[in-house]
Amino acid sequence: MDDLIRRAVEDLAAAKNVAALTGAGISIESGIPPFRGKGGIWERFDPMEFAHIDALMRDPAKVWRILVKEMKEIVDSAKPNDGHKGLAKLEARDKIKTIITQNIDGLHQAAGNTDVIEYHGTFAWQRCMDCNQKYETRKVDISEIPPRCECGGILRPDAVFFGEVIPAEAMWRSRQAAAGCDLMLVVGTSAVVQPAAMIPVIAKDNGARIVEINPERTPLTDEISDYLIMGGAGEVINQIVTALEKM
């Protein structure tokens, strides 16, 4: 067994209160592309043109065309992978308490995790820009875009666009979880987007051990992480959970 996997198993076994921060990397093995790097959505579409609140206000139909084509069809058909399932098993073993995710795909909940903080909101719900009424995305008729509310207002994903603030409850609950954990798994995030990238720093400042899982190094690797396990989330988390179950 890889030394770092063994170390992570020992650290998890000893930990009392584990939290996780996840990013797009954990959903790549479910067929959802990342935002950055090879095959990243932002390599093909300028985020300021398609994912900034000003762009949505300026031309909702243009943003919706991309959202539908690139997000809805992919997210609707995506299934949890071994990475998501492994974190759910850790919750079932009462090892992991809270997952803070930057992802809007709902795959942690689909895998069985019950305490998931959706830091950047969700794509599972749409919200009216006029009256704030919410609609389940899968029930929204998108034959005409932008889709509209009963009040006539335009619907938008209940996700955080660039230029918007993090929902207050998600912000303070994440801070609480980060400050209160003694081990944080940081899985599949490039850790370049703020304020999400601050969450492992808060955990570290409060004495937590930071275990990073990513095939690549990130700005956290040399500064904040105790160690980085270089590999895909599905395989690495699967190895860790399998070893933990044998203990």
Please identify, among the stretches 32-40, 54-62, 68-76, 166-174, the one whose residues bind ligand APR according to the rule CB under 6 A. Answer: 32-40
Task: State the minimum distance, in angstroms, from the CB of residue 100 to ligand APR.
Answer: 11
What does the per-residue mask of binding to ligand APR show for 9-28, with x meaning CB under 6 A?
Answer: --------------xxxx-x
What does the per-residue mask of binding to ligand APR show for 171-210, with x meaning CB under 6 A?
Answer: -----------------xxx--x-----------------
Residue 162 phi/psi, 5-degree rounding, is -55, 145
22 or 149, CB closer to ligand APR? Answer: 22
Would you say 132 and 109 are in contact if contact means Cβ atoms under 8 Å apart?
no
Q: Is 34 in the site for ligand APR (CB under 6 A)?
A: yes
- Is the four-CA dihedral 19, 235, 79, 159 of positive or negative sign? positive
Residue 92 one-letter amino acid? A
DSSP summary character for residue 81: -
Task: State the minimum distance, in angstroms, from the CB of residue 214 to ligand APR.
Answer: 5
Given phi > 0 = left and psi -120 to 50 = alpha, else beta, which region is 47? Answer: alpha
* Catalytic annotation present for 108: no
Residues binding ligand APR: number (CB under 6 A): 23
Please identify, among the stretches 9-17, 35-43, 87-95, 222-230, the one whose residues bind ligand APR according to the rule CB under 6 A. Answer: 35-43
The torsion angle over the Cα atoms of residues 141, 145, 147 and 153, rounded to 10 degrees, is -160
What does the per-residue mask of binding to ligand APR show for 71-110, with x meaning CB under 6 A?
Answer: -------------------------------x--------
Task: State the minimum distance, in angstroms, from the CB of residue 102 to ligand APR.
Answer: 3
Could you tell me which of 86, 89, 160, 164 has the C-alpha nearest to residue 122? 160
DSSP string for 181-239: -SEEEEES----STTGGGHHHHHHHTT-EEEEE-SS--HHHHHT-SEEE-S-HHHHHHH
Q: Is 35 in the site for ligand APR (CB under 6 A)?
A: yes
Q: Is 40 in the site for ligand APR (CB under 6 A)?
A: yes
Measure Cα distances from 86 to 187, 195, 213 in Å.
12, 26, 13
2 or 130, CB closer to ligand APR? Answer: 2
Sheet holding 209-213, edge to edge: 116-118, 96-101, 18-22, 183-187, 209-213, 227-229
Point out which residues bind ligand APR (CB under 6 A): 23-26, 28-29, 34-37, 40, 102, 120, 188-190, 193, 214-216, 218, 232-233
Active site residues: 120
